[in-house]
Every structure is written in structure tokens, then in C-alpha cells.
């Protein structure tokens, strides 16, 4: 064993480093394991404000949302998907802070001309928080709030527990939420004429974010933008279709 290898070996015994996406133990010098390294699905290129996906790789039939625009660092696939699933099950400080950093960077980059008055997040019902232990959207929002020095408040209430959104098909999603989300007057914040950033972990149809945006706009908020860790890829144009068009 060379001197360099000995140092590395000793270091790996003392400090265990875990992958920032899947939490597997990985090489102490890296923060991404070899499996995740080739599986990072970044959202790049020209991006559609309405759905947050690449303009040419996706179809854009999604209805116009109540929020002005959405951005996210990743698509909900591969390594970032693993990270979000990890967060749903339990607080993992490393995965949480790294995803929040990526979301903060994405916000700075995509919304560089905009100033936000407040950050808020997609709420969870108290009974669901009790079951899971925490609200991952809130945890991400609080980190982003620190990173960007924008105050974060619980501006939206979840008045009753709804069936988990992901088990319902798109058409039922909006109906499932109707009336469940409302403005949280108890936060004591006047949102009139403000610009607010809503944080969540994933955007699929955007129905939940829309309901949150509606609750804020109804209270006089001037503009709502969103940031999530990942965006679902259901509107991705299949490779075969693209070839046919070429």
C-alpha cells in the first residue's frame, strides 16, 4: 500500500461518507456514489415557465397554472428521485441540505431579476405530520429561506387530510384538493401585493401548487412562483417519436 493509499484507507475508516442522493456509503473523497454519478437528471436548456421542463424534450399541453412559473434542479428520475424518496421517509440532514442548496441555486439563477417577499411551502395535515414525523416541503423551505435570506412562513393550511395525491390519477387530483387548502391567517402576515415563492419536493401535475397559489392570490398576493426539487416526466416526448419527426 502506498502512502497515499494508506492515508485514503485510514480516512475511509474514520469518516464514512454517504452519497448525497441515495445515502449509500461511498468513497470518502466523493459525495456521489458511482451508481448515482451516471444517473443525475438535471433540468437544462431552454425551460418552459409553465411546466418547468425543457422546451424541446417535452410536450407542453399542460393547462396554464395559477403560479407564474416553476423551476427545479432535477427531473423526478434516477438519483434525484432516490433522494426525494429518502426525504419522504425520514429526515436525512445531508440529503436535505444538499437538495435545498440545489433548489436555492436554481431559484437564484431562474428568478435572478425577481425579489421575493416571502417563502412558504405546501402544507401537510397535522395527522400526516404525526405519522411521518415531519413535513419535507417545510424542511426544504426553511433551508432555502436561510440560504437566500428570505423569511419563511406557514402561509397555507391543510384543513383536512386528503388521500395521497400520487395514488389518484391527474383528473381527480384537483377535485381531491378542493377546499382542503386555505390561507393561514394565524401566521399574521399580510400578503397583499407581495411576491411569494412556494416550495415543495416534487411537482407532478401541479394541482397542489395551483391550489396553494390560488389561496395566496385570493388574499391579494400579486405573484406566485414555485421551486421544487424534482419535476415529473410524464410529458416527456418518447425517443421514438422524436426520431420520426426528424
CB of 53 to Zn ion, least distance (A): 6
63 binds Zn ion (CB under 5 A): no
d(CA 100, CA 197): 14
Picking from 113, 81, 33, the residue whose alpha carbon sits closest to that of residue 229 is 81
The answer to whether residue 224 forms part of the interface with Zn ion (CB under 5 A) is no
The least distance separating Zn ion from the CB of residue 98, rounded to whole angstroms, comes to 12
Q: Report in angstroms how near the CB of residue 243 gets to Zn ion at its nearest.
A: 22
Q: Which of residues 22-41 bind Zn ion (CB under 5 A)?
A: 22, 33, 36
Identify the sign of the CA torsion 111, 113, 114, 119: positive
As measured in angstroms, the least distance from the Cβ of 19 to Zn ion is 3
Cα-based torsion angle of the residue sequence 51, 151, 177, 61 in order, rounded to the nearest 10 degrees: -10
Q: Please identify, using beta-carbon distances, which residue of 19 and 137 lies nearer to Zn ion.
A: 19
- Between 207 and 215, CB nearer to Zn ion: 207
Instruction: Return the number of other C-beta atoms located less than 10 Å from residue 149's C-beta.
Output: 6
100 belongs to the binding site for Zn ion (CB under 5 A)? no
End-to-end distance of the chain based on CA atoms, in angstroms? Answer: 54
Q: Counting contacts by CB under 5 A, is residue 94 touching Zn ion?
A: no
Cα–Cα nearest to 215, from 155, 175, 160, 162: 155
Q: What does the alpha-carbon distance between residue 97 and residue 173 come to, in Å, rounded to a whole number?
A: 30
Q: Which of 6, 15, 16, 19 binds Zn ion (CB under 5 A)?
A: 19
Question: Smallest gap, in angstroms, from Cβ of residue 59 to Zn ion?
Answer: 8
Residue 72 near Zn ion by CB under 5 A: no
List of residues contacting Zn ion (CB under 5 A) = 19, 21-22, 33, 36, 48, 50-51, 60
Amino acid at each position: 500500500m502506498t502512502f497515499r493509499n494508506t492515508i485514503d484507507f485510514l480516512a475511509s475508516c474514520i469518516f464514512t461518507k454517504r452519497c448525497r442522493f441515495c445515502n449509500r456509503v461511498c468513497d470518502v473523497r466523493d459525495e456521489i456514489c458511482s451508481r448515482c454519478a451516471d444517473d443525475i437528471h438535471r433540468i437544462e436548456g431552454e425551460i418552459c415557465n409553465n411546466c418547468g421542463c425543457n422546451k424541446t424534450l417535452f410536450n407542453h399541453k399542460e393547462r396554464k397554472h395559477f403560479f407564474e412559473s416553476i423551476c427545479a434542479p432535477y427531473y423526478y428520475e434516477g438519483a434525484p428521485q432516490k433522494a426525494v424518496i429518502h426525504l419522504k421517509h425520514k429526515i436525512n440532514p445531508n440529503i436535505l441540505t444538499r437538495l435545498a442548496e440545489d433548489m436555492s441555486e436554481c431559484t437564484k439563477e431562474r428568478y435572478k431579476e425577481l425579489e421575493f417577499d416571502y417563502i412558504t411551502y405546501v402544507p401537510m395535515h397535522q395527522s400526516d405530520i404525526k405519522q411521518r414525523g415531519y413535513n419535507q416541503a417545510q424542511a426544504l423551505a426553511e433551508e432555502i429561506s436561510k440560504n437566500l435570506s428570505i423569511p419563511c412562513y406557514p402561509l397555507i393550511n391543510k384543513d383536512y387530510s386528503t388521500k395521497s395525491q400520487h395514488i389518484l390519477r391527474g383528473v381527480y387530483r384537483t377535485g381531491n384538493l378542493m377546499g382542503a387548502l386555505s390561507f393561514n391567517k394565524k401566521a399574521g402576515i399580510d400578503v397583499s401585493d407581495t411576491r411569494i415563492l412556494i416550495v415543495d419536493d416534487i411537482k407532478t401535475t401541479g394541482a397542489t401548487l395551483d391550489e396553494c397559489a390560488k389561496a395566496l392570490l385570493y388574499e391579494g398576493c400579486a405573484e406566485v412562483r414555485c421551486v421544487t426539487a424534482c419535476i415529473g416526466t410524464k410529458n416527456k416526448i418518447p425517443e421514438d417519436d422524436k426520431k420520426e419527426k426528424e
